Structures are given as C-alpha cells and as structure tokens.
Amino acid sequence: MLKRSPGLPAILLVLIILGCGGSDKPTSSNGTVKEDPLFAADIQPILNASCARSGCHNFTASAGMNLSSGQAYANIVNVASSEVPSRKRVLPNDAENSYLVMKLEGRQTSGGRMPLGGGSLGSTQIQLIKNWINQGAKNN
C-alpha cells in the first residue's frame, strides 16, 4: 500500500499557483521587458484585453477614445486628454508625462485609475507601454 505524504497536496498547490501567475508578458528571451516593443504585436493586445472591452474603450468610445484594433493609435498618440486637455494621452518619447501612463499607474489628476473595474495592469505590461512610448510611440 502506498503511503501519501501530507505535504504533497500543498506542494502541488504552490506549483500550480506559481505556474499561473506573475507572468504578464511580453518579455524578451532573457526575461526582461522588451526595450523596443511593437504597437501591433505588443501594445494593441494589452489594449484589446484590458481597455477595449464592452462598455469601456471600444466602439462605444468612452471619453471619445476607442482603443479597438485599427482605432487605438489614432486616438491616443499626440491627442489631448479629454479629462486634462493640457496633457497628451501619449506623448512620444515621454512616458512619464503621457496621461495614459498616469492613468495606468494611478497618478492621474482627474477620474479613476485605469482600467476601471478590471484590476490594474501588471508592472510588465505598464513597463512595456512606457518603453513603447519612450521609443517614439511608433505605429509599427
């Protein structure tokens, strides 16, 4: 008869939890956040999953900002924020002063932290967006 260790279920549970969480890619092959991410391949998927949801920034265009594929870039890069018109939603080469980053990090001066009701983005996702902005916010 096989004797089961009482610690085995706990170990399996820890392995499952570690395998499911913590990775909010995309990262480079060495595990660091991509320095020069692509809008279509790296940024748009984040916007699709976290922002362009029903009732948020999709075809219903909350705050005039549709973040759906094919619409997002034109609605954020060098466009004044509707909440704080003196700020650009995305100011190429300046992530710290881009209102999108302020909203994602909770540093905004108006409204709530984004995304509303869905939990904040992971640090890797936010850094990826910041890297894209700091590399010129290219439409690539």
SS (H, E, C) 97-136: HCHHHHHHHCCCCCCCCCCCCCCCCCHHHHHHHHHHHHCC
**94: amino acid identity, one letter:** D
Q: Name the 3-class secondary structure at 71.
A: coil
Residue-range domain boundaries for the chain: 33-134
Instruction: State the pTM of this model.
Output: 0.76
Q: What is the pLDDT along the chain (140 residues), one digit of tens a residue?
A: 445 444 433 333 333 333 333 334 466 556 689 999 999 999 999 999 988 876 788 776 655 688 999 999 999 999 999 999 999 999 999 999 999 999 999 999 888 899 887 789 999 999 999 999 999 999 99
